[in-house]
């Protein structure tokens, strides 16, 4: 199977998969990522979220980048990852960023 037919087959499979009742779309995953990281999803939503991650390489990469961004932001301001609320940026961190930008 050549590369083009492989991509076409993959695209068709994804479109069918994401129409299934237990599947979440990529945009739904983006909307629920903070709730997932804060463990605020119901078990059904968490199952759909994690099922989507198993089949969607792009969303796995997005979640990894999202977590790295949170960790790097916390490191930049010496805030432990746990204090960021597992996906939620604290108000003190937001204020510190605003203050630093205002001084520039």
| Extents of the domains making up the chain | 3-103
Q: How many helices (H) and strands (E) does the chain have?
A: 5, 0
First to last CA, the chain: 56
3-class state of residue 31 by DSSP: helix
pLDDT at 28: 92
pLDDT tens, position by position, 77-103: 666 555 555 455 566 766 677 777 677
- Low-confidence stretches of the chain (pLDDT < 70) are 1-3, 6, 9-21, 74-91, 93-95, 101, 104
> In terms of Cα–Cα distance, which of 28, 31, 33 is closest to 65?
33
Is the pTM higher than 0.95? no
């Amino acid at each position: 199977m050549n590369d083009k037919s492989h991509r076409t087959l993959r695209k068709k499979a994804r479109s069918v998969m994401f129409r299934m009742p237990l599947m979440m779309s990529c945009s739904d995953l983006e909307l629920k990522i903070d709730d997932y990281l804060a463990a605020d999803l119901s078990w059904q939503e968490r199952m759909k979220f994690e099922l989507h991650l198993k089949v969607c390489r792009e969303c796995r990469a997005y979640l990894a980048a999202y977590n790295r961004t949170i960790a790097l932001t916390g490191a930049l301001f010496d805030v432990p990852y746990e204090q960021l609320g597992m996906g939620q940026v604290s108000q003190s961190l937001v204020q510190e960023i605003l203050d630093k930008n205002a001084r520039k």
